Chains A and B, each alone.
Chain A
Amino acid sequence: MNQSIQTQSPNNVSLLISQSRTNTLGNKTGTWRFVRPKYQEKTAPCSNACPLGIDIAMVEMFASRKDYHSALNKLLMENPFPAICGRVCFHPCESACNRQFLDQSVGIHHIERFIGHWGLSHAKNFDTYPELNGAKIGIIGAGPAGLSVAYFARRLGYRCDIFEKSEYPGGLLKSGIPSYRLPDRILMDELERLNNDDIQFKYSQSISMDQIKTLNEHYDALFLCCGDAHSIALKISGEQHSIDGLDLLHQIRSNKMPVIEGTVAIIGGGNTAIDVARSLLRMGAHPIILYRRTRKEMPAHSHEIDAALKEGVVLKECLSPIEIQKNMNQLEVKFQCMKPGDITDGGRQTYIPDGNCSVTMPFSHVVSAIGAEMDIMWRNDQWELSMSHCQMKRIADQPVFWCGDLTTSEKTVTHALASGKQAVIAWDVMRNQSQNEINHICHQCQVGKGPAISFDIYTNGERKNRNNTEIVSFERVNSAYFPKIPAIQVNKISQESCQNSFNEVISGFDETQMMNEASRCFNCGICNDCDTCRIFCPEMAIQWDKSNRHILLDYCKGCGICIEECPRDAMNLEVEP
């Protein structure tokens, strides 16, 4: 009710105005509402693009608050090796990052690397391995896929035995990736995370298909994670004069560093070709990459090609080797010149021989790096279960999962880790529920549009307020809240050091750089308690006590201002039920 007051001034000037001291609590504006806001978190495009489905928006939020423990826990939830992935993953997350439409993508992998590194000194050992559940699995191969199987399986209570044909764990992480990209110390430190009494590594154990039946008797399930162990041959005359690229990388990583000088031909266009070329450069040779198509078609990742060319590697396009001849101390390689042909239905440019045009060039060595394939004994096309990152068939009534490079089309470390996670979840569902439930359960655990699945959702249930399948587009980000800030440039060693040593090229962010970069993240789709909704609510209907933000429906009139203002699309408007 309104009141009026009259104040007599000393000079008796009349002053009568309307004034009220009642509050507006009696005015329940909620009765006006026909739509209501709700906190509805969504999936960020980076998470959707991540093969492991890491909750990246949350990682960046914690990182920007210097809460490294929480950031690391978010990473370790889905990924056993953030310090490694922060270095070697080709970060599809950054290609999907919404920030690129404002200025530049967030340097997600540099932040992951920083948090992973923090973990090496603060949480090297994963301390939340649960009690064993009585079942035991066998893993063939201690590469990324096999290690991932062990990590996730142990977290579900399985005892694991890993059979590895070499004398050390890591697979290609150890033997294939040069140390200027992944230093040995980081690899070894991070593998400590699997140091657990119930994960047994059995080295120098080469397992063949014939032994699988025998092994089966000792395990509840087997996981084949042996990777593409065989290089693809050049199949040209004189190929015996060439060196195998993967073998070479392996030798370089071992203490038996070969001596290779002069101008070296590297045949191929994939990441192995780039790794070989950049390694040879550091050994004092002059590497030339010869590829039968053009740079545009090279399967190697673009920033790796850029780095190689910048360091001084030479690339020659449209040359396909047809013959290697030994002549004195030199190898003469004859190349067929290639030219663009038709474009395939898939849109890929084909290349065809350019008539009889050929060139011959002398080299001191020729390295073949045209790819690798699995051992023929693992080939199979009869599956009982076929998923995006693993396949399964029963051998002697026991489930055997094919994982990692044996099944994935994209042969990267991160996809191999994703494969291990998927296979373990599939096996766990099979064992505890039934094989028929696998697709349904995996769909429930899907991150964004998939195929990545979340171990977090599998073990802890659906995330509060989160719609996992809805992805935040840039249009839904309120970019008015984000001034343009270019990405923080990462520290690198000098060009000279690159050419003379195997020191790690990228030295990573310092803490300030990391926090600044993490603060650039929009935190798409998640509530980071920015409080914008509460500040803008014209009815003061948004309440925030401690960690709980809620809407007073007695007063919310459904104007939708909170949703319009939310900088990161963490709210939705829905029709009043």
Chain B
Amino acid sequence: MRARWRSTLVILLAAAPALVVLVGLVGAWVAPASDALQHQWRYLLPDASRNTIILVLSVAVAAGVLGTALAALVALCDFPGRAFFSWALLLPLSIPGYVLAAVFAGSLDYSSPLYSWLREQWGWQWPSIRSLGGASFVLTLTLFPYVYLIARVAFESAAERYLEAAALLGRTRLQAAREVLLPLAIPAILASSALVAMETLADFGVVAALNVDTLTTALYRAWYGMFSLVTAQQIAGFLVLMALLLLLFEHRARSVLRMRESAGVSLFRERLHGWRALLATLLTSLILGVSFAWPVAHLLSWASTHWAADLDARYWGYVLRSIALAGIGAVLVVSISTLLAYARRDDSSWVGRSLTPLATAGYAIPGTVLAVGLYAPLASAAPWLQGTLIILFVAYIARFLAVGHAPIAAGLARLPTALDEAAVLLGSGPLQRWRQIHWPLLKGSMAAAFVLSFVDLMKELPITLLTRPFGFETLAIRVFELTSEGEWERAAVPALALVLAGLWPLKWLAGRMSHAT
């Protein structure tokens, strides 16, 4: 009884930052309906909602399929370059979505040199990247690594003996992967696809760069164009509602598939030979090429004329601050996500059940709305917080808890409760139990949570922008400063630095993760 009470308290504390924001959004709905909203209902919201739903579903499905396929390939097969791809496939995450969108708009649109050349030489035509389909394409390319990473951890922690059992019952390795490993990884795939869906819901950068009307662009139109923050908050309320529906759906799907595994000898990878190995390497290279190498090459060509002028000693400061903020933020997010996941496991009361999705719903709120929604009440309630990093980290937690929670909750769901019971019977305390039983089995998921929140925080902009102390600049802020007036060539320098600064921690963590599994 007492333990449950404690769990409820933990959930409440973890949810508190997001709740502050959500209460504000609810407050906006209680306010009398603004005629800005009525106007939007009439002219914008029907199309915007339709686009948002199509975008969210198409990106979640496409990223889900792409991420799962790559995860299965890397986890189950050995082919030339596998070790490199296993971490390099995370790299697309390090490019902010709006930068990727600008690169694709710049390199694939009508006026781009490539399109112009192909058009003039061969008469080639293709649909504009500045469209719903284009936005879906770009978002898929930047978000599939979420699914890839979380699904890979699930595949790698599945035991070899399931594959053996399936082989003994007449299945080839491929059939066994589809019939046994895939169902086992489904909770992880669903959780990560939900994460992708939430990020897509909140995206403004990509859709703005490709001029696609969605709920977020409608939201900014009301706020920036019609000076109605209340309308913007009401639309953000829609987004949260959609996110909660998504989470509900994901939770339902997961509870139908509830299953627990025990640990075992982990998979051995099947070595691919001949054309199959070649195909695996080529396809993976192609995806990495389109989602990372090509954009980076494009950024390099933009930066080539400016790096000499812009790159100076200040960049060390930007890099250090970016890494420090992202590192500290990710540690906070992972720790609180872990506490939340455990508390939720112990507390199945309605409080725990309803607060957990609310705690993670912040991921579906556009960063700027969330930043203002948190800054305003905190700064007026506790003025001494202004100009400190406390508000910044609280806002990080409000927004990014979902990123940490999804992989950890999926990992925890795979642990059999029998393990706990056995350990309790052996008289081990909670901390010892955690260190000896859960940590070894959960560290892969926790590393995944850390990598994802770290990379997300590296490129985080609106919260850092609003709540940073004076003169505090990061790489993401440099990119913003330069792109806000359209200076894309110059912005390529900090954008590349952002990729490079994220590269080293990614590689390092990927190394640690493969030891962990």
Q: Do A and B come from one complex?
A: no
> Which B residues lie at the A interface, using CB under 8 A?
none
